[in-house]
Amino acid sequence: MLFWDIRWKEFEDDICNLNLNQRLNITLASLESVLINNEEHFKLSINEEQKKNIGLALDILWGKGTKEKGVVVDKLDEYTCLDNESGVNDVLMAILFLLNAEFELTADDTLEVLSYIYQAVLDMEIISLLESETLESEVQTMEENNRKCLEVIDEQLGFLKKIKNGYVVHRRT
């Protein structure tokens, strides 16, 4: 996670300069991208009820309805207490954070959600595979050399660049 912090440090001011819709856009685009790019992992790790509620949550966040928001939040919160596969709780936490901060998503909140999304990939790719206690510097070196970790950071920064230029990056269909 230290690697993500280092890479994002110089872009924190850019996040501060985004409006609420742009901050929501970068977080949702990043979240959906991780779900799509790791579809096989999540397909095996998330049951049908969880998939349904995650889909409802994403619909709510994209403004396609607020139907049963409280019920969805409660369900997702329950799922975080389960013994989930690597990456699942991080995705759930990102979604819950967005649902709870939806209309007040600050720059710090945005960075928090983006870090949860990165943490999901870090957990799947590195943390869950560690067999013993590992120094943070060793994990950072693993992050710097892991293709998927690099791709998530590069994609998030790419989304930021597009959004700063006025583009809406991604829409859930």
pLDDT of residue 139 exceeding 60, the answer is yes
Domain architecture of the chain: domains with CATH: 2-164 (1.20.1590.10)
Question: What pLDDT score does 171 carry?
Answer: 56
Q: What is residue 96's predicted lDDT score, i.e. its pLDDT? A: 94
Q: How confident is the model at residue 162 (pLDDT cuts 50, 70, 90)?
A: very high
Determine what percent of the chain falls in helix, strand and coil, rounding each to the nearest 5. Answer: 75, 0, 25
Mean local confidence (pLDDT), 135-139? 85
Whole-prediction pTM: 0.91
- Give the residue-averaged pLDDT of 54-80: 87
**Each residue of 72-108: pLDDT tens digit?**
999 999 999 888 899 999 999 999 999 988 678 999 9
Q: pLDDT tens, 7-27?
A: 999 999 999 999 999 999 999
Q: Residue 125 has what pLDDT?
A: 92
